[in-house]
A and B are shown apart, each in its own frame.
Chain A
Amino acid sequence: MWRAFLANLEKTFIEIKRYYFNSISGVATLLIFFYLLFFGVKAVGGPSISLSSTLDGIIVGYFMWIVFIFSFEGVAWGIIEEVQRGTLEQVFASPIAFEYQMLFRMVSEFLFNNVLLALPLMYLAAFTTGRKIGFDLATLLYLMIGGTVSALGIGMILGGIALIFKRISSFIQVVTFGSLSFTMFETRSLWHRLLPMSQASSMMRALAINNTKFYQFQFSDHVVLWLVAIGYLLIGFIVFRAFERRAMVVGSLSQY
């Protein structure tokens, strides 16, 4: 298992390095969208309104959303790419189950895309817009991980759908924009808190606005965060397995 994880980590790094133009343009796009959003809100708010906490919230909220997108899109696009390249079957025939391979890739992408890319990018974005992010980095990482685990569950479901239907880019886009609403929900009711990524985003806002540290959250907040995270991951695994089984029965693993 450990070797399989290292292999996926190395491959993720190699691909980021080799497809450097794609990686750089991805970063540039993220920053451009962020600036559009940030200066848009500032222009609408006008100079008379005190926006300091809102602007910090925008910075954090936007990057949290990016983190989620990276997480669940990575699986689905990964499977589509594997099918197009013709490598899916080879990965599938490993004695280590395919869902674990996907999980290892998602963790690798989390490390490279989120921890090494999105996080520094967030500080860069704050710096270039004259903001200062002074909140606790450990809490930020903790919430990023908690939120990402539930996003991975969504990713597994999308990956399973991709195994059967192959071309699901439109559906991925719908889920991507839909996920924006999950990160915006006020988690007043339990139902809202049970939506994927919702609880993590809510706690993230508390961090951004009040600088709440992870040990200052209520116990129930942590319970919901991890129940939702593990719950969605489990559902993701189960759904993925069902689609995987279906693809193997109809023999459609490598068809595109």
Chain B
Amino acid sequence: MIEVMDLVKLYPKRNSKEKIVAVDHVSFNVKNGEIFALLGPNGAGKTTTIKSIFGLIVPDSGEIKIKGFSVLKERSKALSQISAVLEGNRNLYWRMSVLENMRYFAGIRGKKLNKWNALEILESLGLKEKANQLVHSLSRGMQQKAAIAVCLACDTDVLLLDEPTLGLDVHSAVEFRSILRSLKEKGKTILLSTHDMNLVEAVADRVAIMNKGRIVVCEEKQKLIDVFTARAYKITLVCGEESKKRLKELGFNGWNENGNLIELQVNLTSSQRLYDLIDTFRSNNIEIESIEKEMVNFEKIFISYTRE
């Protein structure tokens, strides 16, 4: 559905001839009907990538295709396949009603939106009663839904959502997840750029994590969680001062102490095995009280990939 191939974007540095690498040879593809999450810390290059896909930024090199149409060479055809919510809810005319916004944005894309279709979209988002209300008078959550409604009014198969839960309260964010799931059920392909790890954990099929302009991992979300879950342990040790000294010599630095017990969080690398670790403790006379598999949330995965 969306193919990003070897994308590079450089920005000129202010008062200098040097350039900043915002996106560094990024490639990924979003498959038909999936929710693909693009994650990364601030300045990782997510927004530049998203805006390049939406034809708002011209990359220095690389290629982007939407349903086979090149954004650079067949801009009009490519952009007619995709609609977006950018920068949360700022992409709406606040002194126009929800319905007027929907009609306008569908219209400038050459699409006719009849009132019944519009009301159907609004009903599916729980926004039907607000159809004629001016956007500025809606709550933040409602405005966010209105932005999605505008996106759906454009009647495209591919949706691009940049920070869609930004500023939403807990209830609205939870509601938003079910909206995304229902869009996926309707066959929409969704590219999601977000900092909201709960949203990613709840709805994404695949995840790409960007850091410093590069993609550091691109994998199915569940596989990532499984891999991390398989390697993360909480090991409780019975320790005296001598054992603590040995632990430090073995390279363990941080732990929680509870009386004479020590709780260690261990993330095994791919070459390490739990048995080897147990042998190490045994040979150093460190008594093991218990071993538990750690529950991994997506936040931990994200941090482990983007840590300096």
Which A residues have a C-beta under 8 Å from some C-beta of B? 1, 3-4, 6-8, 10-11, 14-15, 18-19, 85-87, 89-97, 101, 245, 248-251, 253-254
Q: Does B51 contact A (CB under 8 A)?
A: yes
Q: Told that A11-B96, A87-B93, A96-B76 touch, could you supply 17 new A-B pairs with CB distance under 8 A?
A: A3-B107, A4-B108, A8-B108, A18-B96, A87-B90, A87-B92, A90-B84, A90-B91, A93-B79, A93-B84, A95-B110, A96-B109, A249-B57, A251-B9, A251-B48, A251-B51, A253-B56
Complexed CA–CA distance, A86 and B86 (Å): 9
The answer to whether A95 and B56 have CB atoms under 8 Å apart is no
Complexed CA–CA distance, A97 and B109 (Å): 9
Complexed CA–CA distance, A87 and B104 (Å): 12
Q: In the complex, which of the residues B55, B57, B92, B104 contacts A7, with contact meaning CB atoms closer than 8 Å?
A: B104
Q: Which range contains the number of B residues in contact with the other chain? A: 35 or more
Residues A85 and B109 in contact in the complex (CB < 8 Å), given A11-B104, A93-B84, A248-B57: no
Complexed CA–CA distance, A216 and B138 (Å): 58
Residues A89 and B91 in contact in the complex (CB < 8 Å), given A11-B96, A18-B96, A248-B56: yes
Chain B CB within 10 A, most for which of A85, A95, A101: A95
Main SS of the interface on chain B?
loop
Complexed CA–CA distance, A168 and B30 (Å): 41
CB A181 to nearest CB in B, in angstroms, measures 36
Complexed CA–CA distance, A249 and B61 (Å): 11
Residues A7 and B76 in contact in the complex (CB < 8 Å), given A87-B93, A248-B58, A250-B11: no
Residues A3 and B112 in contact in the complex (CB < 8 Å), given A95-B80, A245-B58: yes
The chain B residue with its CB closest to the CB of A248 is: B58
Complexed CA–CA distance, A136 and B109 (Å): 39
Q: What are 17 of the A-B contact pairs (CB < 8 Å)? A: A4-B110, A7-B106, A7-B107, A14-B100, A86-B87, A89-B51, A90-B84, A90-B91, A91-B108, A95-B77, A96-B109, A97-B76, A101-B108, A249-B58, A251-B9, A253-B57, A254-B56
The chain B residue with its CB closest to the CB of A5 is: B107
Complexed CA–CA distance, A248 and B55 (Å): 8
The answer to whether A85 and B56 have CB atoms under 8 Å apart is no
The answer to whether B111 and A3 have CB atoms under 8 Å apart is yes
Q: How would residues 90 to 119 of chain B score, 1 for a CB under 8 Å from any chain A CB and 0 otherwise?
A: 111111100010011111111110000000
The answer to whether B95 and A15 have CB atoms under 8 Å apart is yes
Residues A251 and B57 in contact in the complex (CB < 8 Å), given A11-B96, A85-B93: yes
Chain B CB within 10 A, most for which of A7, A86, A245: A7
Complexed CA–CA distance, A8 and B96 (Å): 13
Residues A93 and B56 in contact in the complex (CB < 8 Å), given A7-B103, A15-B95, A251-B48: yes
Q: Which residues on A sit within 8 Å (CB–CB) of B54?
A: 89, 93
Q: Which residues on B sit within 8 Å (CB–CB) of A90?
A: 84, 86, 91, 105
The answer to whether A10 and B79 have CB atoms under 8 Å apart is no
The answer to whether B56 and A89 have CB atoms under 8 Å apart is yes
Chain B CB within 10 A, most for which of A1, A90, A97: A90
The chain B residue with its CB closest to the CB of A4 is: B108
Complexed CA–CA distance, A4 and B48 (Å): 28
Residues A86 and B108 in contact in the complex (CB < 8 Å), given A7-B103, A14-B100: no
Q: Does B259 contact A (CB under 8 A)?
A: no
Residues A18 and B55 in contact in the complex (CB < 8 Å), given A10-B107, A93-B84, A97-B76: no
Q: Which residues on B sit within 8 Å (CB–CB) of A101?
A: 108
Complexed CA–CA distance, A250 and B20 (Å): 11
CB B144 to nearest CB in A, in angstroms, measures 14
Q: Which of B1-27 contact A (CB under 8 A)?
A: 9, 11-12
The answer to whether A1 and B110 have CB atoms under 8 Å apart is yes
The chain B residue with its CB closest to the CB of A245 is: B58
Complexed CA–CA distance, A249 and B86 (Å): 19
Q: Which residues on A sit within 8 Å (CB–CB) of B111?
A: 3
Q: Does B282 contact A (CB under 8 A)?
A: no
Q: Does B75 contact A (CB under 8 A)?
A: yes
Residues A251 and B80 in contact in the complex (CB < 8 Å), given A4-B110, A15-B95, A89-B86: no
Q: Which residues on B sit within 8 Å (CB–CB) of A10?
A: 100, 103-104, 107
CB B111 to nearest CB in A, in angstroms, measures 7
The answer to whether A18 and B95 have CB atoms under 8 Å apart is yes
Residues A4 and B109 in contact in the complex (CB < 8 Å), given A95-B79, A248-B56: yes
Q: Which residues on A sit within 8 Å (CB–CB) of B110?
A: 1, 3-4, 95-96
Q: Which residues on B sit within 8 Å (CB–CB) of A89?
A: 51, 54, 56, 86-87, 91
> Which are the 8 A-B pairs with shortest beta-carbon distances?
A7-B107, A86-B90, A95-B80, A90-B91, A95-B79, A95-B76, A248-B58, A94-B108
CB A217 to nearest CB in B, in angstroms, measures 38
The answer to whether B79 and A94 have CB atoms under 8 Å apart is yes
Complexed CA–CA distance, A86 and B147 (Å): 12
Chain A CB within 10 A, most for which of B77, B79, B107: B107
The answer to whether A96 and B92 have CB atoms under 8 Å apart is no
Q: Which of B33-68 contact A (CB under 8 A)?
A: 48, 51, 54-58
Q: Which residues on A sit within 8 Å (CB–CB) of B77?
A: 95
The answer to whether A7 and B108 have CB atoms under 8 Å apart is yes
Q: Which residues on B sit within 8 Å (CB–CB) of A7?
A: 103-104, 106-108
